[in-house]
Amino acid sequence: MITPADIKLTTGETVRAPQIHVTGLVTSCNYLAAVLANSIVIQHQFRATLASFAATESNVKSKIGPTTPVTGIGTEAFSFSVPSGTRTVNSVVTLVGSLQSIFTGTCSMARVEALAVQGLSLLQPTTSTSTTTTLGPTPPSSAAG
């Protein structure tokens, strides 16, 4: 799990321990900052596929605007930005195995990308009861940050 100290080191933002919300196969970790606009949100969607990842990117392009491919993070990744008042909200969406993650903050895109790299590095390969290997936490109770 990404800690507030990890976020401070990577993004420069001082945040509290995450508020974790689980809805079906989606776990959201909201790291609130004293100035709410500086908060960090990390969301994990379990049982994602390449097709669902592509659908997410298509949805972002049609409703928000252009995306930018991101290399070196996960199996697939893209980023996008949304102006919000005087700030810009930056997001990186990744796919690793069957885990799609979204890392969001108002810090620079480079820092959000660094947070994504850090977050994905904390996901350890685990072996299920079958002979297949899955990446990351098991859905949804242990899927924090």
Quick check: 127 pLDDT over 50? Answer: no
CATH architecture of 4-135: 3-Layer(aba) Sandwich (3.40)
The pLDDT of residue 47: 96
The pLDDT of residue 103: 97
| Predicted confidence band of residue 130 (pLDDT cuts 50, 70, 90) | very low
The pLDDT of residue 45: 96
Beta-carbon count within 10 A of 21 CB: 12
- In the chain, the amino acid numbered 20 is I
| Predicted confidence band of residue 1 (pLDDT cuts 50, 70, 90) | confident
Cα separation of 111 and 119, whole Å? 12
Quick check: 131 pLDDT over 60? Answer: no
Cα separation of 78 and 73, whole Å? 9
Write the pLDDT tens digit of every residue in 38-76.
999 999 999 999 999 999 999 999 999 999 999 999 899
Q: State mean pLDDT over 108-131.
A: 76
Beta-carbon count within 10 A of 130 CB: 7
- Contacts of residue 112, Cβ cutoff 8 Å, sequence gap at least 6: 11, 79, 90, 91, 92, 103, 104, 105
Q: Mean pLDDT over all residues of the chain?
A: 87
